[in-house]
């Protein structure tokens, strides 16, 4: 087994980054990227902190991540398992990465930036759904945003119903809690 140790070794195998991959990177939310954000009901939020890394799923109605301006996004923190790993990490290291998915569409949208938490009552209320406001809102300062090609989605068959797994064939989540 040959373990890669340097960027030079990596680039000897993959070559330099293609200009087309760099051309689509923006430092703000463009109208085209906003249309993808507005259509997405799901995002994976990646954070880093002293206890380690976290990548957590976030979902709601399409457009639940609000575009405040071309450089700012806001995402409600809806009720979940209450571990708050991502929120703890944001308080200690504001760097975040988001991967947006749109059901039936292969293109993904990636956003990298810095986040902080907001608890202003009026802001929380503006994110209320069915009378329930989130306990906090994650505000994201966009550093870079770009779309990712559909190859991984196509290869995985993620949106292909013939490749969907019957959930009854998997152990229930509570069984995975036991060592």
pLDDT, tens only, 48-73? 999 899 999 999 999 999 999 999 99
Q: What confidence score (pLDDT) does residue 179 get?
A: 62
Q: Closest Cα partner for 13 from 28, 3, 21?
A: 3
**Residue 116 per-residue DSSP state:** E
Q: What is the pLDDT of residue 79?
A: 84
- CB burial class (10 A; 0-12, 13-18, 19+) of residue 29? buried
d(CA 138, CA 117): 5
Contact between 174 and 57 under an 8 Å Cβ cutoff? The reply is no
**pLDDT score, position 162:** 93
The pTM (predicted TM-score) of the whole model is 0.90
The conformation of residue 161, written as its DSSP 8-state character, comes to G
Q: Band of the pLDDT at 30, cuts 50, 70, 90?
A: very high
Check pLDDT > 80 for residue 23: no
Per-residue pLDDT band at 171 (split at 50, 70, 90): confident
132 burial via Cβ count (<10 Å: 0-12, 13-18, 19+)? exposed
Per-residue model confidence (pLDDT) at position 173: 75
Average pLDDT on 125-142 reads: 96
pLDDT tops 80 at residue 4: yes
DSSP state of 167: G
pLDDT above 70 for 159: yes
Average of per-residue pLDDT across 112-119:
98
Q: 166 pLDDT exceeds 70?
A: yes
Sheet arrangement for strand 95-101: 52-59, 42-49, 95-101, 108-118, 137-148, 72-76, 66-69
Alpha carbon 44 to chain centroid, angstroms:
3
As a whole number of angstroms, the distance between CA 175 and CA 173 comes to 5
Task: Enumerate domains of the chain plus CATH numbers.
Answer: 14-176 (2.30.110.10)
Query: Mean per-residue pLDDT for 109-116?
Result: 98
Q: What size, in residues, is the chain?
A: 179
Residue with the bigger pLDDT between 83 and 176: it is 83
The arithmetic mean of pLDDT across residues 82-106, rounded, is 95
Residue 177 pLDDT > 90: no
CB 45 within 8 A of CB 58: yes
């Amino acid at each position: 087994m040959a373990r890669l140790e340097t960027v030079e070794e990596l680039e000897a195998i993959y070559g330099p980054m293609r200009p087309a991959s760099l051309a689509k990177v923006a430092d703000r939310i463009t109208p085209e990227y906003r249309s993808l954000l507005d259509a997405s009901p799901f995002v994976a939020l990646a954070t880093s902190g002293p206890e380690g890394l976290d990548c957590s799923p976030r979902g709601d109605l399409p457009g639940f991540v609000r575009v405040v301006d071309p450089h700012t996004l806001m995402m409600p923190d809806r009720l979940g398992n209450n571990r708050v790993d991502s929120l703890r990490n944001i308080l200690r290291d504001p760097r975040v990465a988001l991967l947006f998915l749109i059901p039936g569409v292969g293109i993904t949208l990636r956003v990298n930036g810095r986040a902080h938490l907001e608890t202003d009552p009026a802001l929380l209320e503006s994110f209320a759904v069915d009378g329930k406001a989130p306990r906090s809102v994650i505000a994201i300062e966009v550093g870079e945003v770009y779309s990712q090609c559909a190859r991984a989605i196509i290869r995985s068959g993620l949106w292909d119903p013939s490749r969907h797994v019957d959930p009854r064939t998997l152990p229930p989540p509570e069984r995975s809690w036991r060592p």
